[in-house]
Every structure is written in C-alpha cells, then in structure tokens.
Amino acid sequence: MDKLVLTSSLTAQNNKRSNQQLRGKIELSIRELEKRLSGRTWGVSATKRYLDALVAGTALLALSPVLLIIALLIKLTSRGPVFFVQQRTGYRGRRFGMFKFRTMVVNAEELKAQLRHLNHHGPDSVDFKIKRDPRITWIGRWLRGTSLDELPNLINVLRGDMRLVGPRPTSFDARTYLDHHLDRLNAYPGITGLWQISGRSNIDFDERVQLDRRYILQQSFWLDLKILLKTPIKVISGDGAG
C-alpha cells in the first residue's frame, strides 16, 4: 500500500514538473512571437471576442431549424448522442471540450489504434485522417463532406473557447507538440482559418503550423473577413474535406 502511494506521489510530481516545463516553453514561444507582432493583438482582443460571439449567437438562432433537422437525422439513423464533445488544445495550450455533430460510431476512439496504419499522414503522425474512414456513419459522411458537422463549434465561440477565425484546435495536447509548433498557441483556435482555405486535410501538421504562424503575424479584421468569405467556396468545392 505504501509503495502504491509513493508511486502515485512520484507520478503526480513528474506530471506537475512536466506541465511547468511545458508552460515555460509556451510562454517563451509566445514572447518571441509577440516581438514580431508590432502591437497587433487583434487575435486576442476583446473586440474580436465579442464581435465573434455576436455573429455566432445570431448564426445559431438563424440556423436553428437546420440544426434541429440534423440532430433528428443523427438520432434516427445511428445509436448514440447527437453531439460529440472532444477535448481539444486551444489558446496557450488550454484544453477544452469542442462541440461537433457526431459523425462516427459510438466506439470510434476505441477503434482508432486498430486503424492507425491507414492514417493518411502516416502511422506515426500526430494528425489522424483516414480516407473513407470505416468508423463514419452514412449521415456522418454527408455532414463531413459539407462541413455541417462543425456548426456546433459556434457554441464554443459563444463560450469563449474559440473564435470564428484562427488555428484549428488539435485533438492531441501541447505535450505532443515540437518546440516550433508552439507558436500556433498564441491565438485562440478558430472554426476556420488559413488551413481551411489552403487544402484542409491534404496539408500535414507542419504545413498547418506555418499557415497558423502566418495568420498570427498578419492578424487583422480584414484578414478574418477574407478567410470567412473564402471558406464557403472551399466547403462547396469539397477540396480536402475529410
């Protein structure tokens, strides 16, 4: 019993030390990037926060009939909840629950290890994408192809976890990031971003980080507007959807 308590204590201390080291790396990365921002703080400003929340709230009200129909289709065609809430990595490495319409079978996460060899980015990649993923339900395939599964992300924008535009939040936490990946944590994650209008799932994680870094360095209201206007075109074309 004493040995078990000691082991648990050592594990907790190691985790605390690891988290402190990670926070230190993130802060250093953010300070270095901020030196190049020349006072541009649109991405983390209160103006963007409340403007995005206003747009998200309006969109949720306007789209409520569509959301209800999608929810009914999911409930009637597969077993499990309507929403899938997945832990994602956001601003400064903070974890939060991101809302999406469920597009997979209920035991999808359990099946992930068995399918890693089919990963589009390679079996050892932190990104996990499979062409024609067998875990996706038939209604889920349609939702993903149209990106309608991501409409509940608007709830996260209302809550303040996300913004309309920013780096896409990863399912893997910041401990998995290499040091040069940490720059992307200097902005709140977004529903859409440069990645979505530049290839989506066809782009690997290192390329996504470069696009995220470019977005952070060039951040502005007008860049956000440009990305938001281009996103529907990419969604309709289906380029890179997965």
Cα→Cα distances 225→33, 79, 158, 192, 221, Å: 23, 39, 18, 11, 6
Going by their DSSP bridges, the two strands 190-192 and 95-101 should be labelled as: unpaired
Give me the numbers of helices (H) and strands (E) for the chain, helices first please. 8, 4
Q: How far is CA 105 from CA 82, 110, 116, 144, in A?
A: 11, 10, 17, 14
Q: What is the pTM of this model?
A: 0.80
> Looking up tokens 């903070």, which residue turns up?
94
Question: In the predicted model, what is the mean pLDDT of residues 220-230?
Answer: 95
The pLDDT tens digits for 159-217 are 999 999 999 999 988 898 988 899 999 999 999 999 888 866 667 888 899 999 999 99
Whole-angstrom distance, CA of residue 8 vs CA of residue 166: 38
30-to-23, 90, 194 alpha-carbon distances in Å: 10, 14, 20
- DSSP label of 199: T
pLDDT > 90? residue 88: yes
Q: 241 pLDDT exceeds 80?
A: no
Closest CA to 147 of 168, 124, 163, 161: 168
Contact 196, 119 (CB under 8 A): no
Q: What is the pLDDT of residues 94-132, one digit of tens each?
A: 999 999 999 988 876 666 766 766 665 555 665 666 767
> What are φ and ψ of residue 101, in 5° steps?
-70, 140
Q: Cα separations (Å) of 154 from 56, 105, 160, 192?
A: 5, 23, 10, 11
Q: What's the average model confidence in pLDDT over 62-67?
A: 96
What is the number of other CB atoms lying within 10 angstroms of the CB of residue 215? 23
3 Cβ contact partners less than 8 Å away, ≥ 6 residues apart: none
Distance (Å, rounded) from C-alpha 73 to C-alpha 56?
23
pLDDT score, position 224: 96
Q: Which tokens in the block code for residue 32? A: 């270095």
